[in-house]
Amino acid sequence: MANVNSKIEARKKVREAQARANEARLRRERQNVDDAASFLVELGRLAAVDEWEQRRVLEIRAERERRRHEHRQAAAAAVSRMQDRGETLAAIAELAGVKVSDVRAVLKSTSAQPVASPEALGAPEVASKSADAAPVNGAVSAQGASHALDVGGRV
């Protein structure tokens, strides 16, 4: 610390020190304002991601239901064609390697369950419906059939 002999010099040194402290404080406050603004922007972006996720989940659920309905309809149509040729539900189930209750459940689900549109579920229309994951030849294992069609008490 410098030796100060006059009150004027002492005041000058104190004012300079105070000015440096004020500049540092203002610099910190400006940085805090910038960081607080960044923080608020990022909170808004987080909220937007949550909203996007909710919309996307609704879209995926609607697409899932649409696809399941299509596959149930196709399965029921196949059963109906076999019945038209005189096959019983028991024979159809045995041929497919599934339970009779699974065959009945498919028939029942297609006659009693209309598919909900994405709009009805609160989702905007799904852009691409060509990405169905159904096998090319329509083959499915007997074990996977009852699970994929949500029959046999499985949900």
pLDDT at 116 over 80: no
pLDDT at 146 over 90: no
Spatial distance between the Cα atoms of 76 and 145, rounded to a whole number of angstroms = 12
pLDDT: which is higher, 26 or 2: 26
| Average pLDDT of the residues in 54-74 | 97
pLDDT band at residue 142 using 50, 70 and 90 as cut-offs: very low
pLDDT at 20 over 50: yes
Count other Cβ atoms within 10 Å, centred on residue 12.
12
pLDDT: which is higher, 119 or 110: 110
What dihedral do alpha carbons 14, 16, 21, 22 form, nearest 10°?
A: 110
Spatial distance between the Cα atoms of 51 and 97, rounded to a whole number of angstroms = 44
pLDDT: which is higher, 2 or 47: 47
